Amino acid sequence: MAESDQEQRRVDQFILEKIDSVSHLEALLLLWNSRPKQWSPEELARRIYVDIKIARELLADLQRSDLIVAAPDAAEKYWYETSSQERNGIIEIVDATYRYQIVRISNLIHSKGPSAVRDFARAFRFKKEPE
């Protein structure tokens, strides 16, 4: 559970900036909690009770957001991997917060604008070029 107002603000900011739906959050947390296990869309679909097509979209979205990685071959496997202690720390707090504040976090996600509006706004974000 978030221990301070600062942690709660960090959780809320992460949710608002990176998470498009409750299903996205649940997929991310599943991969984070099961690391280093690799997940196929079929496995994810069974685990979070969504259609395989939706699972593929969730995984692709999370990969595009640099929250998970995909196998470089055609194996269609995804997993959580980062060397960023900051990223690991925020996801750990998000995970704990979601366990105890599922309604608040779900409402926060649902309060965001439609995904089409968010996608349009995201197109104007500046990204750092890889070095």
- pLDDT tens per residue across span 89-130: 999 999 999 999 999 999 999 998 765 444 555 555 555 555
Task: Give the residue, 129 or 8, on which the prediction is more confident.
Answer: 8
Q: Does the residue 129 lie in any domain?
A: no
131 lies in some domain: no
Report the CATH number that the domain containing residue 101 is assigned in CATH. 1.10.10.10
* Whether 70 contacts 61, CB under 8 Å: no
In a domain, 37, yes or no: yes
Nearest one of 42, 37, 41 to 56, comparing CA atoms:
41
Q: In 3-state terms, what secondary structure has residue 79?
A: strand
Which is more confident, 121 or 20?
Answer: 20
Residue 116: the pLDDT is 44
pLDDT at 114: 67
Rounded average pLDDT over 3-31: 94
Helix axes 22-33, 41-48, angle to 10 degrees: 110
pLDDT in tens, 59-88: 999 999 999 999 988 789 999 998 899 999
**Whole-number Å distance between alpha carbons of 39 and 80:** 10
pLDDT at 2: 47
Provide the pLDDT for residue 73: 81
Output the pLDDT for position 75. 81
Model pTM above 0.95 = no
User: To the nearest whole number, what is the mean pLDDT of the chain?
Assistant: 88
Token code pair at residue 56: 């593929």
Number of domains, the chain: 1
Indicate whether 12 belongs to any domain: yes
Q: By residue range, what is the domain housing residue 83?
A: 5-122
How many Cβ atoms from other residues are within 10 Å of residue 89's Cβ? Answer: 12
Between CA 21 and CA 101 the distance in angstroms is 16
